Copies of this chain bind each other. A is one copy, B any other.
Amino acid sequence: MKIALAQINYHIGNFESNTSKIIDGIRRGESEGADIVVFSEMAISGYPPRDFLEFSDFVNQCQTVLQHIAKHCKKVAAIVGLPTYNDREKGKPLYNSAAFLFDGKIQSITNKTLLPNYDIFDEYRYFEPNNEFKVIDFKGKKIALTICEDLWNVQDNPLYTVNPMEELIGQYPDFMINIAASPFNYHQTKIRKEVLKKNARQYNLPLFYVNHVGAQTELLFDGGSLVLNSFGETIDELNYFEEDFRIYELDEVIDNKQSIYNEINRIEIADIHDALVMGIRNYFQKLGFTKAILGLSGGIDSALTAVLAAEALGSKNVYNVLLPSKYSSDHSISDSIKLAHNLNMPYDIIKIEDAVNTFEQTLQPFFKGLPPDIAEENIQARSRGLILMALSNKFGYILLNTSNKSEAAVGYGTLYGDMNGGLSVIGDVYKTQAYELSRYINRDKEIIPENIITKPPSAELRPDQKDSDSLPDYDILDEILYQYIEKRKGPKEIVDMGFDKPLVDRVLKLVNTNEYKRYQTPPMLRISTKAFGMGRRMPIVAKYLG
From 357 to 389 in chain A, residues with beta carbon under 8 angstroms from any chain B beta carbon are: 358-359, 361-363, 366-367, 370, 373-376, 378-379, 382-383, 385-387, 389
Q: Could you mark each residue 43-87 of chain A with 1 if its beta carbon is under 8 Å from any beta carbon of chain B, else 0?
A: 000101111101111101000000000000000000000000000
Q: Which of the candidate stretches A158-166, A200-208, A227-235, A270-278 sits at the interface with the other chain?
A: A158-166
Q: Check A415 for interface membership: any CB of B closer than 8 A.
A: yes
Tell me whether B387 and A359 are in contact (CB under 8 A).
yes
Q: Check A469 for interface membership: any CB of B closer than 8 A.
A: no
Q: Which residues of B contact A13 (CB under 8 A)?
A: 539, 542-546
Q: Check A407 for interface membership: any CB of B closer than 8 A.
A: no
Tell me whether A539 and B216 are in contact (CB under 8 A).
yes
Q: Which of the candidate stretches A243-251, A260-268, A530-538 sits at the interface with the other chain?
A: A530-538
Q: Which residues of B contact A443 (CB under 8 A)?
A: none
Q: Check A17 for interface membership: any CB of B closer than 8 A.
A: yes
Q: Check A497 for interface membership: any CB of B closer than 8 A.
A: no
Nearest chain B residue, comparing its CB with the CB of A49: B539
Nearest chain B residue, comparing its CB with the CB of A360: B390
Q: Which residues of B contact A519 (CB under 8 A)?
A: 522-523
Q: Check A473 for interface membership: any CB of B closer than 8 A.
A: no
Tell me whether A160 and B90 are in contact (CB under 8 A).
yes
Q: Could you mark each residue 504-532 of chain A with 1 if its beta carbon is under 8 Å from any beta carbon of chain B, else 0?
A: 00000000000010011111000000000
Q: Which among B117, B538, B539 is the interface contact of A124 at CB below 8 angstroms?
A: B117
From 170 to 207 in chain A, residues with beta carbon under 8 angstroms from any chain B beta carbon are: none
Tell me whether A161 and B91 are in contact (CB under 8 A).
yes
In the bound assembly, the distance between CA atoms of A382 and B391 in angstroms comes to: 13
From 381 to 414 in chain A, residues with beta carbon under 8 angstroms from any chain B beta carbon are: 382-383, 385-387, 389-391, 393-394
Q: Which among B359, B390, B391 is the interface contact of A355 at CB below 8 angstroms?
A: B359
Q: How many copies does the complex hold?
A: 2
Q: Check A341 for interface membership: any CB of B closer than 8 A.
A: no
A residues contacting the other copy or chain, number (CB 8 A)? 97
Q: Which residues of B contact A354 (CB under 8 A)?
A: 358, 361-362
- Smallest beta-carbon distance A159→chain B, Å: 6
Q: Check A466 for interface membership: any CB of B closer than 8 A.
A: no
Tell me whether A11 and B359 are in contact (CB under 8 A).
no
Contacts A159-B91, A161-B90, A490-B58; is A374 near B393 (CB within 8 Å)?
yes
Which of A46, A287, A358, A367 gathers the greatest number of chain B CB atoms within 10 Å? A358
Tell me whether A537 and B91 are in contact (CB under 8 A).
no
Tell me whether B118 and A490 are in contact (CB under 8 A).
no
Q: Which residues of B contact A12 (CB under 8 A)?
A: 539, 541-544
Tell me whether A378 and B393 are in contact (CB under 8 A).
yes
Q: Check A257 for interface membership: any CB of B closer than 8 A.
A: no
Tell me whether B416 and A393 are in contact (CB under 8 A).
no
- Could you list 8 A-B pairs, sorted by A, with CB under 8 Å? A46-B542, A49-B539, A58-B490, A217-B541, A282-B541, A286-B543, A519-B522, A520-B522
10 nearest interchain CB pairs?
A: A57-B490, A13-B544, A14-B543, A375-B393, A12-B542, A375-B394, A358-B358, A416-B416, A13-B542, A124-B124
